[in-house]
Amino acid sequence: MGILEKISEIEKEISRTQKNKATEYHLGLLKAKLAKYRAQLLEPSKSAGAKGEGFDVMKSGDARVALIGFPSVGKSTFLSLMTSTESEAASYEFTTLTCIPGVIEYKGANIQLLDLPGIIEGAAQGKGRGRQVIAVARTADVVIMMLDATKGEVQRELLEKELESVGIRLNRTKPNIYFKPKKGGGLSYNSTVPLTQCSEKLVQLILHEYKIFNAEVLFREDCTPDEFIDVIVGNRVYMPCLYVYNKVDQISIEEVDRLARRPHSVVISCGMKLNLDYLLETLWEYLALICIYTKKRGVVRKAILSVFLFCNLQCHRIHRTLASQFKYALVWGTSTKYSPQRVGLTHVMEHEDVIQVVKK
C-alpha cells in the first residue's frame, strides 16, 4: 500500500471514529501517523531522473506576498492592477503556468507580489504542480487567498485543507509548548495551566509513535493533540492570511455584507476596481511594517522598534562598522518628547520616525 492510500485510509478512519473520552487516545495516534505520512509525501524523491523545473523567484523588497487560489479567480488581473507587471489574464483556466513577480509600491515600501499558478484539489499530493506552488507560498510573509465570491465557501475550505496538510497554519500562532528530546531519563511532563485535551498518557503515546522515549514537555497553554504534533514535527509555518473575495459585483449586496464581516476577509472587484485601496491598507497592517527614515528612507518590521535593533539590523546597509561605533542617535517623530531628541539604544521608535546615528 502506497503513502497516498495509507493517508486516505487514516482520514477515513478518523472521520468514522466518534470523538469522546474513550477514543481520544486512538484519535491521537491516528493523527500522529497521518502527520508522519504527510511529511514523507512532501520529501523529495530519491529516485534518479531529470528534475522538474521550479518557479521560485529571488526574494526582494521589504516583504513578500503570495497570491494563491483556484484557476480563473482573478489573480493575474489583480497583479496587473496593483503592480506595473502585466500577467496574462483570460477566461480559460490555467492561464498562468509559472510564478509571475510584481512589486507594489506603497508608503515608501516595495512589496513583492507573486502571482502563482492556480492550484486544484489534491495539490498537497502534487497534482497540478501543487507542491511547487505551496513551496513558494511557505516563503511568503503574508498569503492572499483569492476566492471567487460566486462560489460560496467551497473554495476557501478546500484551500485551507490543502495548506493545512502541508504544514501551513493560517492566522494562528505557534503553540506555547516547550519540547526538548533528551538522551535518557524518560518523559518529563508538566504544565502551567489546566489541560483538557492532552493528558500525559496521550502525550506519551504520540511521542512513542515518533520513536521518542526521552523528552521534556512543558505546556504553557491548553493545546490540542494536533498542535502538540506540530511542535514535535517542527517544520510548521505560521503566517497571516487575507481572504480576498473577488467578483463581488456578481452577487447580492446581502452576500457581500456577509462575506465582508467574516474574520480576515476583504471583498473586491478587479473587473470594476472596487475596494482595492482598502485591501492595500489591510495588507499593510498584516505585513506589520513601519517606516524609519534615515538620510535614505527605509522600511523595517513593526517588531523591530528599538534603536539597538535598528542599528544591528539596518545600519549594515550603510556601513558594516556603523553599529559597533554607535555613540548616540537623534530622533525626530512621534516617539520623542521634543524634536530632535538625543536617545540611546533602548529608545523605542514609531512609524515614520527620522533617525540620525552619531558615531564615537
Q: What is the pLDDT of residues 100-153, one digit of tens each?
A: 888 988 888 889 998 877 665 554 555 545 567 777 888 889 999 999 999 878
Measure the CA–CA gap between 353 and 290, rounded to whole angstroms: 9
Which pLDDT band holds residue 176 (cuts at 50, 70, 90)? very high
User: For the chain, how big is the Rg over CA atoms in Å?
Assistant: 24
pLDDT attached to residue 44: 54
How many other C-beta atoms can be found within 10 angstroms of the C-beta atom of residue 147?
25
Q: Which pLDDT belongs to residue 8? A: 76
CA distance 280 to 69: 18
Cell numbers 515614520 correspond to 352
Cα–Cα distance, 128 to 138 (Å, whole number): 17
Task: Single out the residue of 236, 227, 167 nearest to residue 202, CA to CA.
Answer: 227
Rounded to whole angstroms, the Cα distance separating 74 from 147 reads 8
Question: Mean per-residue pLDDT for 147-173?
Answer: 87
- Per residue in 10-64, pLDDT tens? 777 777 777 766 677 777 788 887 777 777 665 655 544 444 445 567 788 888 9
- Assign 321 a pLDDT band (cuts: 50, 70, 90): low
Question: 172: exposed, middle or buried (C-beta count within 10 Å: 0-12, 13-18, 19+)?
Answer: middle
From 3.40.50.1010, 3.40.50.2020, 3.40.50.300, 3.90.1150.10, which CATH number describes the 63-85+98-172+237-287 domain? Answer: 3.40.50.300
349/39: higher pLDDT: 349
100-104, Cβ contacts within 8 angstroms, sequence gap of 24 or more = 100/76, 101/57, 101/60, 103/60, 103/61, 104/65, 104/280
Instruction: Answer whether 103's CB lies under 8 Å from 83's CB.
Output: yes
| Domain range list for the chain | 3-43+175-233, 63-85+98-172+237-287, 289-359
CATH architecture, domain 289-359: Roll (3.10)
Model-level pTM?
Answer: 0.73
Residue 331 has pLDDT above 50, yes or no: yes
Per-residue pLDDT band at 5 (split at 50, 70, 90): confident
